[in-house]
Amino acid sequence: MLEKVDEIKQQIEAFQTENPEELEAFRIKYLGSKGLIKGLFADFKNVPNDQKKEFGQRLNELKNFAQEKHDALKATATKAQSKANAPDDLTRPGEPLPVGSRHPISLVRDEIIDIFSRIGYSVEEGPEVEDDWHNFTALNFPEEHPARDMQDTFFVNSENGENLALRTHTSSVQVRIMESQELPIRIIAPGRVYRNEAISARAHCFFHQVEGLYIDKNVSFADLKQTLLFFVKEMFGEKAKIRLRPSYFPFTEPSAEMDVSCTICNSKGCNVCKYTGWLEIMGCGMVDPNVLENCGIDSKVYSGFAFGMGVERIAQLKFQVNDLRLYSENDVRFLDQFKAVF
């Protein structure tokens, strides 16, 4: 009997494989419930009593030996298997994944936010459906001002008879902030605005603006000019110039429109700047004392400036896009071109 144990032990010792099927056959043959070792255990009763002790020990050793051998072979087999499954060339480039791109309007809006954040402006938002007070009245629009006209403004039917409209500009956010925030105020308000216009290459019924507002003691027009110059140089490069032309807005006094030197032709004159070398990108001015008072701010103590710029217009200059409609058509051939920008 003991010889049988030795014989099996030698067989087990000699066995080698990396093949999982052969290994399983080994397990069944030696360790299975009908295997050789189980068989020897069954023979135990036939062993003479004086040999039972030694036989038992040897049998247990054999069983452990077989189990250890099996486990060791299994570990190398699994390793060999995972090596075999690995791709042939680990340095081969991966499959390309189709990735989207950011919309040019978002890219430009985020860059504007970034530039003003660097000089201490925080970002605010207001509702797109706005009431008459915030969009017009508090901003010093006279009752009969043409901007309130049906031709410019999309009015919204309200259940309680309140005068609501889709905001025609982000200046409405100025009012909300002046009414609710502590002084001094230094904010920008990006957002979508709506006007009742026929859609063409140069006009759309919705577009995007970024409003800016700075209110403190002793704020002057020189501060406004320097802030805008800083912005333009950050946005269009060191060489860019600005020009302020006197203008009129009900909510600022004095008011101006700001032109930037045409980046497309380097101010030499082209069809985008209509051969003037300049392009208008925003309106601005000193906040009218009436507006400050409408929002509960003492205009004898505080002054401030405001500005409002068109995001599409800036995007047009940066990316040389000459048709406003492209921004809302979602044509992938157009959008794809902004993948590598910024």
Piece in contact with ligand DAH (CB under 6 A), picked from 69-77, 107-115, 176-184, 278-286: 278-286
Closest CB 238 distance from ligand DAH, rounded Å: 26
User: How crowded is the C-beta side of 246, counted as CA atoms within 13 Å?
Assistant: 2
Q: How far apart are CA 192 and CA 322, in angstroms?
A: 20
Q: Identify whether the C-beta of residue 298 lies closer than 8 Å to the C-beta of residue 205.
A: no
Question: Could you tell me the smallest distance in angstroms from the CB atom of residue 141 to ligand DAH?
Answer: 11
Q: Is 306 in the site for ligand DAH (CB under 6 A)?
A: yes
Q: Which of 35, 190, 285, 304 touches ligand DAH by CB under 6 A?
A: 285
Q: Are 189 and 210 in contact (CB under 8 A)?
A: yes
User: What would the x/- binding string for ligand DAH be over residues 151 to 180, using CB under 6 A?
Assistant: ------------------x-x---------
Convert residues 226-255 into a mask of x (bound to ligand DAH by CB under 6 A) and - (unbound): -----------------------x--x---
Q: Are 40 and 5 in contact (CB under 8 A)?
A: yes
Non-local (6+) Cβ contacts of 108 within 8 A are 311, 314, 315, 318
Q: Which of 284, 291, 311, 317 binds ligand DAH (CB under 6 A)?
A: 284
CA–CA–CA angle 9, 15, 21 (5° rounding): 125
Q: Shortest distance, CB of residue 101 to ligand DAH, whole angstroms? A: 29
**Would the CA dihedral through 191, 197, 198, 203 be positive or negative?**
negative
283 binds ligand DAH (CB under 6 A): yes
Among the listed ranges 32-40, 46-54, 87-95, 304-312, the one in contact with ligand DAH (CB under 6 A) is 304-312
307 near ligand DAH (CB under 6 A): yes
The single residue listed with the structure tokens 């956010």 is 173
Residue 70 or 134 with smaller CB distance to ligand DAH: 134
Determine the size of the site formed for ligand DAH (CB under 6 A).
11
- Do the bridges between strand 185-194 and strand 206-216 make them parallel or antiparallel, or are there none, so unpaired? antiparallel
**DSSP single-letter state for residue 150:** T
Distance of closest approach, residue 130 Cβ to ligand DAH, in angstroms: 12
- Cβ closest to ligand DAH, residue 26 vs residue 116: 116
DSSP calls for 36-52? HHHHHHHHGGGS-GGGH
Q: Which is nearer to ligand DAH, 124 or 211 (CB)?
A: 211
Q: Which segment (26-34, 38-46, 300-308, 324-332) binds ligand DAH by CB under 6 A? A: 300-308
Task: Please identify, using beta-carbon distances, which residue of 164 and 291 lies nearer to ligand DAH.
Answer: 291
Q: How many Cβ atoms sit within 10 Å of the Cβ of residue 201?
A: 10
Distance of alpha carbon 336 from alpha carbon 333, whole angstroms: 5
**Nearest CB to ligand DAH, comparing residues 30 and 327:** 327
> Taking the complex as a whole, how short is the minimal distance between the CB of residue 169 and ligand DAH, in angstroms?
3
Quick one: which of 124, 130, 211, 312 contacts ligand DAH (CB under 6 A)? Answer: 211
- Nearer to ligand DAH (CB atom), residue 23 or residue 286: 286
Residue 74 DSSP SS3: helix
Closest distance of CB 270 from ligand DAH, Å: 25
Strand order in the sheet with 164-166: 129-131, 164-166, 155-156
β-sheet with 122-123: strand ranges across: 122-123, 185-194, 206-216, 303-310, 278-287, 252-261, 242-249
62 binds ligand DAH (CB under 6 A): no
Q: Using the rule CB under 6 A, is 304 a contact of ligand DAH?
A: no
For binding to ligand DAH (CB under 6 A), which residues are involved? 169, 171, 211, 249, 252, 283-285, 306-308
